[in-house]
């Protein structure tokens, strides 16, 4: 996955001046391999001042902004939580608590013209990083301010899967329409759609390449199975698939995420029983 990130960046930036630190091309490595939250917060502190709304203009979106959205924002959301991801999107001029639904009307047309389906990715990131006002599953919580309108806007599971099959989303960054879409459906309480989106993402014909997205789809299926009252073994089977995918990725943070799911769903001792001692991080 990281080789794909590097080659995609290399192809784009040949002949162009690009600030690799600002775009956060190394954030996935720092977060997924080294699990270094402190380094990610330091990077965010520095780049928040480097980005401004001036990066978004009628001529298109600055390259650093695009890569930060595609590569850094999903990692910040997974590793550091909602607030740091929201802070990055705010620095890019794409977030306002009071005008969430209005921001996308003006800004996302620029994104759509810059990278195919990037407008969808950003709105999903905006929603998942938004403050919650009530309880919810998957650590998401509810935000009544935007949930109803977000639910009516959400693309179908089939549309999200089709978006992920485009070249840019298959090969660029850490973002995935099916993974973010499944999490968004889960947060909205639309569990059937969440499961359908995750299954479409894992279908062989989907050719999902990104390890973090594969693991997330399995995790969503496990959490949804528990919420919908399926047997513990069904949920555990999904989490085991997530664990195998995480281990195959050689990305320790993904293994850690599945450990948290197992411990939170079945208790620390029972969750740890699914892991060999050498597999724990």
268 found inside a domain: no
255 found inside a domain: no
Q: Which residues of 64-95 are buried (b: 16+ CB within 10 A; e: fewer)?
A: bbbbbbbbbbbbbbbbbebebbbbbbbbbbbb
Considering its fold, how many domains does the chain have in total? 1
Q: How far is CA 228 from CA 146, 151, 222, 271, in A?
A: 24, 19, 10, 20
Domain hosting residue 45, numbered range: 2-210
Q: CA–CA separation, 253 vs 3, rounded Å? A: 18
Instruction: Note the pLDDT of residue 204.
Output: 95
Q: Which pTM value belongs to this model?
A: 0.83
117 found inside a domain: yes
Instruction: Note the pLDDT of residue 281.
Output: 34
Residue 240 tokens, joined = 């085991």
Q: Which residues of 33-42 are buried (b: 16+ CB within 10 A; e: fewer)?
A: eebebeebee
**C-alpha R_g of the chain:** 18
> Does 165 have pLDDT greater than 70?
yes
135 found inside a domain: yes
232 found inside a domain: no
223 found inside a domain: no
Q: What is the mean pLDDT of residues 250-254?
A: 95
254 found inside a domain: no
17 found inside a domain: yes
């Amino acid at each position: 996955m990281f080789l794909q990130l590097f080659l995609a960046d290399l192809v784009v930036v040949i002949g162009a001046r690009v600030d690799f630190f600002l775009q956060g091309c190394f954030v996935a490595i720092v977060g997924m391999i080294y699990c270094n939250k402190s380094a990610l917060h330091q990077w965010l502190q520095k780049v928040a001042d480097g980005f401004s709304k001036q990066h978004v203009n009628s001529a298109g979106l600055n390259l650093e902004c695009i890569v930060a959205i595609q590569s850094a924002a999903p990692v910040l959301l997974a590793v550091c939580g909602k607030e740091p991801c929201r802070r990055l999107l705010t620095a890019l001029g794409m977030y306002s608590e009071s005008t969430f639904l209005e921001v996308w009307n003006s800004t996302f047309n620029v994104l759509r013209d810059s990278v195919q389906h990037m407008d969808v990715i950003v709105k999903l990131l905006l929603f998942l990083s938004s403050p919650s006002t009530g309880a919810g599953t998957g650590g998401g919580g509810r935000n009544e301010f935007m949930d109803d309108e977000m639910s009516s806007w959400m693309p179908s599971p089939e549309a999200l899967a089709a978006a992920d099959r485009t070249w840019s989303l298959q090969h660029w960054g850490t973002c995935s329409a099916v993974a973010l879409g499944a999490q968004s459906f889960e947060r909205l309480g639309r569990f059937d759609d969440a499961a359908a989106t995750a299954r479409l993402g894992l279908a062989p014909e989907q050719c999902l390449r990104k390890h973090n997205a594969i693991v997330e789809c399995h995790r969503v299926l496990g959490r949804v199975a528990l919420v919908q009252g399926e047997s513990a073994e069904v949920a555990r089977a999904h989490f085991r698939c997530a664990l195998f995918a995480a281990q195959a990725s050689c990305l320790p943070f993904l293994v850690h995420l599945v450990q948290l799911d197992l411990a939170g769903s079945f208790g620390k001792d029972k969750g740890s029983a699914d892991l060999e001692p050498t597999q724990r991080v």
